Structure 1
């Protein structure tokens, strides 16, 4: 799913330029500490089909910084947009050397919703996806029940033009603070091509064995749940497969994270789907509360996975940017 060159230029200019949108966004100083090894002890950087491409531990010198739960990356892998569950957005550039993530610059922050930040209950943005057919526009999912899905377009370097997007009635029945989490555009290679796919964070009940996804305008499907993991984000691969970012926290094991790849041909209305485990890691690696996921392709055709963590604006947690190459 390649965004058009026009979209990439819009992201790189009106969206991500350090000179864009100054009237509606403020520059923010960010300290980025490089993470050279994914494993705490160093060891290997190869995890099955994934190769670690470096990471950053970000500290923003602004009281609004943190809580980043959704991420969108430009085609060239440099521009980034992140949204927080506190009602703010951040744009910036990811810096690379020899294919590895080394720095973060040109950062600006602004209020996500034109009316200003609201309570977490009313502005709990969870995911952001850019529309491959409408440059500068996209969708944001929220955990508030009244309007769980919003469309938007960029205007004068900031988010604007929010409009509610109809969702199936079942979406409104998801558990509070465990509701709509993920939104993704299906690529031409998917059976759901041209449609939007949304996914709930957890089952309808605590005892549920599946999480539900919806192909808007088509129907729903079930995703098999393993080991009480919840889904925090989802993105389609260029070939139509669907990647899930899953997480779990227990006092006994601490934070854990998984990446799961579901065959694209199985994602159809009425189906129950399961996938291949690409990554299953815990506290022995450089992770935190991993919430955001996006995917882009390198010029040589290889796929890069970018993850961001939500620190819950808690001094004991971290904002991490991590990148992997999927071979």
Structure 2
């Protein structure tokens, strides 16, 4: 994703908040933490998964790296720190390094058995690894509409349900008035049971299915002078339809950095928490940050 935004972001050296009228948010802002590591590979985090209690994380970057660690919280559940492991490279189907154009990893989903699914742009595909060691990728069946996917705007959002079905949403729908398709993989067969209406200039960058069985979709819009706006929408899921579309929050431009990874979990009070991580595009004027909102039940 970072290549496509480079020119627009460079024009916005300072991400200045914009005071614009927003609809009342259902979700409330909880906490935010900026952080970094002394490793040149750090940055570009585009996919996020959390443990059911929100304490540990797995992330992938858009330069084919993976990182695991622990989120530290205070007695109120606010994020106070990060303890991270070692950044490691994702591997190819041969077990070796990913070839050029095969290394733009974007989406992340983790199954209950520990298998890790990763979606890629450029060479559009979804792969699975046996576990977080990510020693050898296994290609899943080719995604629908492969030939029409855009080079740097394709398989951004990846999610998995409790039955192990995989869901993929492209970043762009092709036209401003065309809905985003939601493709689902069960076994060896992709199908397209859902569409998400396109609202405004927002594009899909992340997705997760929460412990409540609902689909949460993270979207982003970019103002070249004011920074990023983020939005999370939630949908009830049936076998053939998404219903009860609900906007949980819309942030004004510049409030947060380039949020791309999203994970949803339930806290001890029974509330859903939407935790996100930003892709800093490896730019000095951007930052990696965890951002969290709470959705009252």
Q: Same fold (TM over 0.5)?
A: yes
Distance 1:282 1:263 in 2: 26
Distance 1:182 1:250 in 2: 21
Aligned to 1:126: 106
Distance 1:128 1:260 in 2: 18
Aligned partner (choices 215, 230, 243) of residue 242 of structure 1: 215
In structure 1, the residue corresponding to 2:42 is in which secondary structure?
Answer: coil
Task: Within 5 Å, give how 1:131-280 maps onto structure 2.
Answer: 131-132=111-112, 134=113, 136-145=114-123, 148-154=125-131, 158-187=133-162, 193-203=163-173, 205-216=174-185, 217=189, 219-220=191-192, 221-251=194-224, 253-265=226-238, 268=240, 271=241, 275-280=245-250
Aligned to 1:87: 64
**TM-superposition CA deviations, 1:186-207 (whole Å, max 9, x none):** 23xxxxx54211111111x244
Question: Moved runs in structure 1, 4+ residues, more than 6 A?
Answer: none
CA 1:241–1:106 in 2, change beyond 3 Å: closer, same or farther?
closer
Is residue 171–residue 179 contact of structure 1 (8 Å, CA) maintained in 2?
no
Distance 2:64 2:184 in 1: 26
In structure 1, the residue corresponding to 2:145 is in which secondary structure?
Answer: helix
Deviation at 1:106, TM superposition (A): 3.9
Is residue 125–residue 140 contact of structure 1 (8 Å, CA) maintained in 2?
yes
Distance 2:217 2:203 in 1: 10
Aligned to 1:112: 90
CA 1:145–1:53 in 2, change beyond 3 Å: closer, same or farther?
same
Is residue 278–residue 288 contact of structure 2 (8 Å, CA) maintained in 1?
yes
Structure 2 residue runs of 5 or longer lacking an equivalent are 1-15, 19-23
Instruction: Give the TM-score normalised by structure 1.
Output: 0.75
Q: Number of residues paired by the alignment? A: 268
In structure 2, the residue corresponding to 1:222 is in which secondary structure?
Answer: strand
Distance 2:157 2:244 in 1: 17
**TM-superposition CA deviations, 1:7-59 (whole Å, max 9, x none):** xxxxxxxxxxxxxxxxxxxxxxxxxxxxxxxx979xxxxx7332322111112
Distance 1:316 1:77 in 2: 28
Is residue 86–residue 118 contact of structure 1 (8 Å, CA) maintained in 2?
no
Structure 1 residue runs of 5 or longer lacking an equivalent are 1-38, 42-46, 188-192
Is residue 176–residue 198 contact of structure 2 (8 Å, CA) maintained in 1?
no
Aligned to 1:22: none
CA 1:206–1:48 in 2, change beyond 3 Å: closer, same or farther?
closer
CA 1:111–1:68 in 2, change beyond 3 Å: closer, same or farther?
same
Higher relative contact order (CA 8 A, sep 6+): 2
**TM-superposition CA deviations, 1:136-165 (whole Å, max 9, x none):** 21211111335x1001122xx622231000
Deviation at 1:93, TM superposition (A): 0.9
Deviation at 1:63, TM superposition (A): 0.9
Deviation at 1:274, TM superposition (A): 7.3
